[in-house]
Amino acid sequence: MSDDLRPLSPEEGIERFLRHREPSVEESTMRNAKTRLRFFREWCEEREIDNLNDLTGRNLAGFVDWRRPDIAAITLQKQLSTIREALRFWADIEAVENGMAEKVHSPSLPDGAEAKSVHLDASRAYDILDYLEEYRYASRDHVLMILLWRTGMRRSAVRAIDVDDLRHDEHALAVTNRPDEDTKLKNGDDGERWVYLGPNWFQPIVDYLDNPDRFDKTDDCGREPLLTTAQGRPTGDTIYSWVNKLTQPCQIGECPHDREPETCEAFGDRHQASKCPSARSPHAIRRGSITYHLNQKISPEAVSERCDVSLEVLYQHYDVRTKREKMTVRKSKLEDL
């Protein structure tokens, strides 16, 4: 514990945080925050934590394990989001160490846990890609968006890709399961595949390797990640926050919610970007990408293999085409006959 911290009980810390939040949020948001933090207070009582100064990344991981069996993964993610907000506030008032919020890691959502209607529309995806192509070519964000949109892969696959996984002659990527080296794929060895990008989409990835802004790093296993941070390979949470910020409409255009950057709580800090109603998660990009592939008349079987998703899950959780869009695809195939 740092000598710079000031003692504060969990109960008083929660009361202070709620008083701080109340003037700026809706009543329903306050109700949700009170409920979520009630469980955190109960956990502190069970663990006899009577001073927020004593919180560590290890016992916060214990809280996640404590709550996980009782609620759905998406509900747990929402609860942990509120706790991160509280931890940032407590850090500002010197009750916990700075950076403690970033030590709360959410579990991965199972396929389809997010609302099926939440996806990145193709027109927005290409607006982002066009902007990055023109103004931030071969940047980290450019490569990230290409990987997510053009391949529909999960963030666990994105973070698993190494420089050595580029297949230059094929303009493709090899997605490989390496569970012993901290890059396990969701479906294990069954998720391994090569993914074709084509020369036009592959070239920015190659050029990114020479971008002076890219961190030339190896990870703890001596591998060279394709996407890097100053510390090495990004975590799943880091990729999540990158994507939230990248998909905010105000990053490449105007805000559709009549907010001003100076007063918008979601603007500026990537850790707050998820508060933007129009920001999207990597999973929402995956859903939009799969839908776009289907609308381009690529067979569901090919999309299933390319994106590592069963046909049953694809139709149940990822296909957000309208009835008219589905008819249009069928019509084009019938006309070909």
Structural domain of 32: 10-103
CA angle 116, 118, 121 (to 5 degrees): 115
Backbone φ, ψ for residue 193 (5° rounding): -170, 165
What total of structural domains would you count in the chain? Answer: 2
Q: Do 178 and 308 belong together in one domain?
A: yes
Positions of the chain with pLDDT lower than 50, given as ranges: 112
Q: Do 144 and 245 belong together in one domain?
A: yes
The pLDDT score that the predictor gives to residue 105 is 84
- In three-state form (DSSP H/G/I as H, E/B as E, the rest C), the secondary structure along the chain is CCCCCCCCCHHHHHHHHHHHHHHHCCHHHHHHHHHHHHHHHHHHHHCCCCCHHHCCHHHHHHHHHHHHHHCCHHHHHHHHHHHHHHHHHHHHCCCCCCCHHHHCCCCCCCCCCCCCCCCCCHHHHHHHHHHHHHHCCCCHHHHHHHHHHHHCCCHHHHHHCEHHHEEHHHCEEEECCEHHHCECCCCHHHHCEEEECCHHHHHHHHHHCCCCCCCCCCCCCCCCECCCECCECCCHHHHHHHHHHHCCHHHCCCCCCCCCCCCCCCCCCHHHHHHCCCCCCHHHHHHHHHHHHHHCCCCHHHHHHHHCCCHHHHHHHHCCCCHHHHHHHHHHHHHHC
Q: Do 80 and 172 belong together in one domain?
A: no
Q: What's the chain's length in residues?
A: 337
**Domain end point (choices 58, 81, 103):** 103
- Asked whether residue 77 is domain-assigned, the answer is yes
Q: Do 178 and 53 belong together in one domain?
A: no
Distance CA 185, CA 175 (A): 9
Which residues touch 224 (CB under 8 Å, ≥6 apart)? 162, 163, 164, 217, 218
Q: Do 225 and 258 belong together in one domain?
A: yes
Nearest CA to 258 among 279, 271, 277, 284? 277
- Asked whether residue 3 is domain-assigned, the answer is no
Q: Do 92 and 119 belong together in one domain?
A: no
Tens of pLDDT, residues 256-289? 777 777 778 777 766 677 778 888 889 999 999 9
**Domain end point (choices 53, 71, 103):** 103
Q: Do 29 and 120 belong together in one domain?
A: no
Q: Do 87 and 180 belong together in one domain?
A: no
Q: Do 92 and 143 belong together in one domain?
A: no
Q: Which CATH number characterizes residue 38's domain? A: 1.10.150.130
Q: Do 26 and 144 belong together in one domain?
A: no
Give the strand order in the sheet containing 166-167: 166-167, 172-175, 193-196
Q: Do 300 and 206 belong together in one domain?
A: yes
Tens of pLDDT, residues 49-93? 999 999 999 999 999 989 887 776 777 888 898 999 999 999 999
Mean pLDDT, the chain, rounded, equals 89
The pLDDT score that the predictor gives to residue 3 is 64
The pLDDT score that the predictor gives to residue 116 is 58
Q: Do 228 and 165 belong together in one domain?
A: yes
Task: Note whether 322 and 295 are within 8 A (CB).
Answer: no
**Domain end point (choices 60, 76, 103):** 103
Nearest CA to 24 among 314, 263, 205? 263
The pLDDT score that the predictor gives to residue 90 is 96
**C-alpha 289: how far from its chain's center?**
15
Q: Which CATH number characterizes residue 147's domain? A: 1.10.443.10
The pLDDT score that the predictor gives to residue 254 is 76
The pLDDT score that the predictor gives to residue 32 is 84
The pLDDT score that the predictor gives to residue 109 is 56
